[in-house]
Chain A
């Protein structure tokens, strides 16, 4: 059975991640994939 949302939120809270970190990491991953795609293409 999947973990409840409450349990997931509790586990995630300890990571102490901020919105700025989410935005910057998402941008890094997207940029990395774009660069990879350009290389592949």
Chain B
């Protein structure tokens, strides 16, 4: 996927979203908050999911442990096709580092420790990332409001089928 981020070191990109491995797995397995949140991303071509290889590997390991390796591999393939890829050191937290390296404004996680984990990154961040649970993100993230700030014209509505 092409890098068309409008983010930089001081201002993260509001159209970029990272989900941690538990949220990505919850999206896959449970028709609930995580899927509602990530459907917002899948439904809009101008909203990007950012993920490192480390994050995809952690998600594949989790899905394989919960179900089977074939489903985990198919899920990873799909995430690889959809994501904006970023890289980070092995020791960094995969989701947090994906957000910082990808200049994403949103990090979906149910892990409240992530805010304090920022200090553990190899790259000391200046970015202001919003760490939210999937239900909180789905409640406040409004593509219609965001659209005029990042694209020309008025909001055309969802332009992708989130099940394709």
Q: Which residues of chain A have a CB within 8 Å of any CB of chain B?
A: 2-6, 8-9, 11-13, 15, 17-19, 21-23, 25-26, 28-29
Contact = CB atoms under 8 A, between A and B. Distances in A.
A5 B43 CA distance: 12
A28 to B, nearest CB: 8
A17 B66 contact: yes
A12 B28 contact: yes
A29 B164 contact: no
B71 interface: yes
Interface residues of B, number: 29
B62 interface: yes
A9 B22 contact: no
B117 to A, nearest CB: 12
Given A22-B62, A23-B22, A8 B78 contact: yes
Nearest to A11: B71
Given A2-B78, A15-B67, A26-B22, A9 B28 contact: yes
21 contacts: A2-B74, A3-B78, A4-B163, A4-B164, A5-B78, A8-B74, A8-B75, A9-B28, A11-B71, A11-B74, A17-B29, A17-B30, A19-B32, A22-B25, A23-B22, A23-B110, A25-B62, A26-B21, A26-B62, A29-B61, A29-B62
Nearest to A18: B30
Interface string B66-90: 1110010011011011000000000
B162 interface: yes
Contacts of A19: 26, 30, 32
B119 interface: no
Contacts of B31: 9, 13
Nearest to B162: A5
B67 A17 contact: yes
B2 interface: no
A12 B61 CA distance: 15
Nearest to A15: B67
